[in-house]
Amino acid sequence: MDLSELLDDLAAVPRLPGAMCRDDPALFDLARDHRNSRGRALTVCQSCAALEQCREWVLTLEPDERPRGVVAGMVINVGRPRQRQRHR
């Protein structure tokens, strides 16, 4: 991705006044991958004043374009390979 594509992507993100994720963005990142953190992030997200506007925005994106992590009260895990169970 070049700089102009990144700037276009950032320009498309709504401002979301009052969004609680701005205070602790790391809490909403799947890289932390702690169930307790994810649960706290979901709780914060569900009580956020910007939840509906955020959800509307996220649902306009193609699934592979959606940000990963806890977003709009959902856990989005796009691009992460699923583990297959082997049967013998």
pLDDT in tens, 15-28: 888 898 888 888 88
Query: Could you tell me if residue 23 is inside a domain?
Result: yes
Is residue 6 one of the residues assigned to a domain?
A: no
Q: How many domains does the chain have?
A: 1
**3 falls within a domain:** no
* pLDDT: which is higher, 87 or 71: 71
Q: Which two tokens stand for residue 27?
A: 């809490």
Rg of the chain on CA atoms, in Å: 15
Q: Is the pLDDT of residue 86 over 70?
A: no
Is 48 inside any structural domain? yes
Dist. CA 37–CA 23, nearest whole Å: 14
> 46-50, 65-69, 82-86 — which is least confidently predicted?
82-86
Joined tokens for residue 76? 């989005």
The tokens for 63 are: 């699934």
Task: Report yes or no on 87 lying in a domain.
Answer: no
In a domain, 1, yes or no: no
Residue 5 lies in a domain: no
Distance CA 27, CA 20 (A): 11
Instruction: Evaluate whether residue 19 is within a structural domain.
Output: yes
CA distance 86 to 10: 41
Q: Which domain holds residue 65?
A: 13-76
23-49 pLDDT per residue, tens: 888 888 877 656 678 888 999 999 999
Higher pLDDT pick, 86 / 27: 27
